[in-house]
């Protein structure tokens, strides 16, 4: 059987089968198959644990980042990390943290600034969600860049 474009209808068949196979299957009451009634409570408990873990991480990071700022330890180099869109940021005292930018390319901007100018770690802040960020400045404070700290570096 030919379609109006002159192509065989056999091309439409696999598409329809693929489309049907991606639909969520439900039981007669409309609930997804495999879902449990207590699953919502489990998810809430996991989210609470993640929230507590992020506050614990923020405290741990503040204990490591606070001395860096007090002593004025400069960042020295940036290298890739095994995590997508993240990088390792090495400081002069040997401290290494995993960072990522709010926008793709932010870490590259910092790397170029570090190569051309003296970059200073100006501040760090922890948001209400437990995300810790570092503020870097250069050119007398005219240029500023915030990077999110994902955590302390661990060996690969």
Q: pLDDT 10s digit of each residue in the chain, 156 long? A: 444 445 544 444 444 444 444 444 554 545 555 545 555 566 555 555 554 455 676 677 878 788 888 998 999 999 988 888 899 999 999 889 999 998 989 999 999 999 988 899 998 888 777 788 899 999 888 899 999 998 887 654
Q: Are 86 and 100 in contact (CB under 8 A)?
A: yes
Write out the two tokens for 49. Answer: 């644990």
Q: Is 29 helix (H, G, I), strand (E, B) or coil?
A: coil
Count of C-beta atoms within a 10 Å radius of residue 113:
18
Rounded-to-integer distance, Cα 41 and Cα 132, Å:
28
Rounded-to-integer distance, Cα 41 and Cα 120, Å:
46
Angle at 53 between CA 76 and CA 64, to 5 degrees: 30
Rounded-to-integer distance, Cα 151 and Cα 142, Å:
27
Domain spans of the chain, in order of start: 39-152
Angle at 62 between CA 138 and CA 104, to 5 degrees: 50
């Amino acid at each position: 059987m030919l379609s109006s474009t002159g192509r065989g209808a056999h091309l439409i068949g696999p598409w329809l089968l693929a489309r049907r196979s991606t639909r969520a299957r439900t039981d007669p009451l409309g609930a997804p198959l495999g879902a449990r009634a207590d699953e919502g409570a489990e998810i809430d408990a996991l989210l609470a644990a993640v929230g507590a873990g992020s506050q614990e991480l923020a405290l741990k990071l503040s204990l490591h980042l606070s001395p860096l700022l007090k002593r004025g330890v400069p960042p020295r180099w940036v290298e890739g990390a095994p995590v997508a869109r993240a990088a390792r940021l090495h400081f002069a005292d040997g401290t290494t943290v995993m960072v990522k930018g709010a926008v793709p390319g932010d870490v590259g901007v910092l790397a170029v600034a570090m190569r051309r100018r003296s970059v200073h770690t100006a501040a760090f802040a922890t948001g209400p969600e437990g995300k810790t960020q570092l503020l870097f400045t250069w050119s007398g404070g005219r240029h500023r860049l915030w990077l999110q700290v994902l955590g302390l570096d661990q060996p690969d």
